[in-house]
Chain A
């Protein structure tokens, strides 16, 4: 995978992601793929087993994956969280804020465009899953 689309220090996880049903049925899978209509909370009891969660975006208009990502980070998941599918450069910044740290877009992305997108907004209005201080925290110290 293109390094520009992975924002982690560890090395990429080699094992392929299994389906949610398969994951919940097996005991040794360490990577799972969550479809857009599947419940991220089903993974919460198993987060310590997982090194990679891939969240599907069948269409960039389907925003359920953003909630899935935040829910997983809120539950304490620290492994790789990858957005896969119809991912355009214009969604990268929001996805990062929701906790995604890797991207597998169908159409390749221009790394310079990705960097521009990520650097565009210096200040977020809300607290999210990326640990950045929201504007209200900057205002009130």
Chain B
């Protein structure tokens, strides 16, 4: 994975001192909260329900054991012993004190980590496919391009005060494992007929109040034009995105209001101009970055045989282990969704264990997924059993990847000042209702996503079953949505009808999945059955 050179390190170190200075000015009263807020947000520091919350960047979800261990150290030293992995592949600490943040950032900088632009109206963490470098279906590893984008977008002087936040995802396969179509800019790396690498560019996807699937703006941008084209996309947004209404300020609103054709026209015009400025780095810079993502030194001649005589191990392999492009290897997902646990949370001890396991079994590499789990991308099949035993002993061995208890849930009203309802207790109740692994496996792939407010950090619009928490006259209420998808078959969930209280929505989900079971055809996932039979039979089953 990428390693900082003196320039990268100097930039992160300068940022720490810059922020130290800003904190000192805030603490002395030289700067008001109003002036400080956008600056602290640009450094991922929120003021939440209980304390400050710090969102640490994990660029394109990739980190090594040393970095994961540092996150555990920060959790212990400055927080309450745990952290929360997010739907943008970052990590949140919930109990941070402002006065400690410069020191926290300084410690993170010693392991090439930071919290730069994890909030604020700027370009956020570039997200990517958690199976990058391991999946057989990718055109190339997308992460060197994500790193190129990270550097281009960091402290970009023109795009630091955008109308609103800006999220970019880059993948390199037809299967979309990163919800790419639901980003402000979604990129798919493809090969053209000549075998050359280029980018399919989608602009204007997003969730929140007005969810949209991003339309295709250009079906092939060459690597030589790539950053100039991105510059043009952002410049048009910075100039013409709405600034009159915070709920209409994302690029998806601009693209929707002027139309994808007009947006494309403006971008192409700006691109022709920007291209003359020489902003694109030379090919040598990409090659320098790409060298850090060369495949690990695979062991050759490994067996693909697995002893599955231990039934619990077999369940975990069936559910949480995916095929690797290299013979003898596998991709293992560590579930952070134990039944009754808090989705996406990991204790400092668990972080340290995952760091050890990555070093021992996965060429010292881990990935954070947008579904709030952790991936060890390069595990020898021969090591899977020992790995699983170690995970199971630490509450990290739940065999539920993509099953109904593998819930995406935002922190919700337990933690977040923006929330209208709690999401975690609901996730716990649902997981407990469906705790039986036999029942879960019978239901099959069922992506359930919960957001505690319309900001949709839990991606509820993209859930096969989605839940939105609302405030109904001072009490928590939950709307149920069906039929969303964040994959390459992207679709937005449909609200079923009147909302429910917490127990009511769990019962409604039970009726929904029972309906699925009664009408499904062999081999159909819940989402397939829903798309085949339509909304009405499910509405009928839920409301009677």
Q: Which of A61, A88, A91, A128 contacts B121 (CB 8 A)?
A: A61
A124 to B285: give the CA distance in the assembly, Å: 15
Q: Measured between C-beta atoms, what is the minimum distance from A114 to chain B in Å?
A: 13
Q: Once the chains are docked, how many angstroms separate the CA of A120 from the CA of B16?
A: 10
CB within 8 A of A63: which of B17, B154, B161?
A: B161
B278, A90: Cβ atoms closer than 8 Å: no
Q: Is the CB of A140 within 8 A of B284?
A: yes
A68 to chain B, nearest CB (A): 8
Max chain B C-beta neighbours (<10 A), residue from A64, A98, A137: A64
| A140 CB contacts on chain B under 8 angstroms | 281-282, 284-285, 288
Among B15, B156, B162, the residue within 8 A (CB) of A126 is B156
**Contact: B279 with A127, CB < 8 Å?**
yes
Contact: B160 with A63, CB < 8 Å? yes
Whether a CB of chain B sits under 8 angstroms from the CB of A82 is no
Within 8 A of B (CB), among A90-109: 90-91, 93-95, 97-98
Q: State whether A88 and B279 are in contact (beta carbons under 8 Å apart), knowing that A66-B158, A139-B285 are contacts in the complex.
A: no
B14 touches A90 (CB 8 A): no
B85 to chain A, nearest CB (A): 27
User: What 0/1 pattern do residues 39 to 76 of A give for CB contact below 8 A with B?
Assistant: 00000000000000000000011111011001000100
| B residues near A98, Cβ cutoff 8 Å | 157-158
Interface size class of B (residues with CB under 8 A): 35 or more
On whether the beta carbons of B161 and A67 are closer than 8 Å, the reply is no
**B417 contacts A by Cβ under 8 Å:** no
CB of B17 within 8 A of CB of A94, answer: no
B157/A126 in contact, CB under 8 A: yes
CB proximity of B405 to chain A, nearest CB, Å = 42
B385 within 8 A of A: no
B239 at the interface (CB under 8 A from A): yes
How far is A66 from B18 in the complex, measured between Cα atoms in Å? 21
* Interface residue ranges of B265-314 to A (CB < 8 Å): 273, 277-279, 281-282, 284-285, 288
Given contacts A120-B14, A135-B7, contact A74 B277 (CB under 8 A): yes
Measured CB to CB, the closest approach of chain B to A127, in angstroms, equals 5
**Does B5 sit within 8 A of A, measured CB to CB?**
yes
Taking a contact as CB atoms under 8 Å apart, the answer to whether A94 and B160 are in contact is yes
Would you call B14 and A124 a contact (CB within 8 A)? no
B161–A66 contact, CB under 8 A? yes
Instruction: Compute how far the CA of A95 lies from the CA of B277 in the bound complex, rounded to whole angstroms.
Output: 18
Asked if B238 lies at the interface with its beta carbon under 8 angstroms from chain A, I say yes
B22 nearest CB neighbor, chain A only: A90
Given contacts A64-B239, A74-B273, A140-B285, contact A120 B17 (CB under 8 A): yes
Interface residue from B11, B35, B235, B285 paired with A136 (Cβ < 8 Å): B285
Q: Provide the residues of chain A in CB contact with B282, threshold 8 Å.
A: 136, 140
In the complex, are the beta carbons of B238 and A67 less than 8 A apart? yes
From B39, B156, B288, give the contact of A90 (CB < 8 A). B39
A94 to B239, CA, bound (A): 17
Residues of B within 8 A of A93 (CB): 157
A94 with B157, Cβ < 8 A, contacts A67-B239, A120-B17, A126-B152 known? yes
CA distance A98 to B160 in the complex (A): 11
Q: Which residue of A lies closest to B39 (CB)?
A: A90
Partner of B278, one of A125, A127, A138, A139: A127
**Given known contacts A88-B35, A126-B157, A135 and B14 CB-to-CB distance under 8 angstroms:** no
**26 pairs from A and B in contact (CB 8 Å cutoff):** A60-B35, A62-B161, A63-B158, A90-B39, A91-B161, A98-B157, A116-B21, A121-B11, A121-B14, A121-B155, A122-B10, A122-B14, A123-B7, A124-B155, A126-B279, A127-B278, A128-B157, A128-B158, A134-B281, A135-B8, A135-B151, A136-B282, A138-B7, A139-B5, A139-B288, A140-B284
- Residues of B near any A CB (own CB < 8 A): 5, 7-8, 10-11, 14-15, 17-18, 21-22, 35, 38-39, 121, 151-152, 154-163, 235, 238-239, 243, 273, 277-279, 281-282, 284-285, 288
The 9 closest A-B pairs by CB, nearest first: A63-B161, A97-B157, A136-B281, A94-B157, A136-B285, A135-B7, A66-B158, A125-B151, A123-B7
Known contacts A66-B160, A135-B7, then 7 further A-B pairs from the complex at CB < 8 Å, ordered by chain A residue: A64-B243, A66-B158, A91-B161, A93-B157, A124-B155, A137-B281, A140-B288
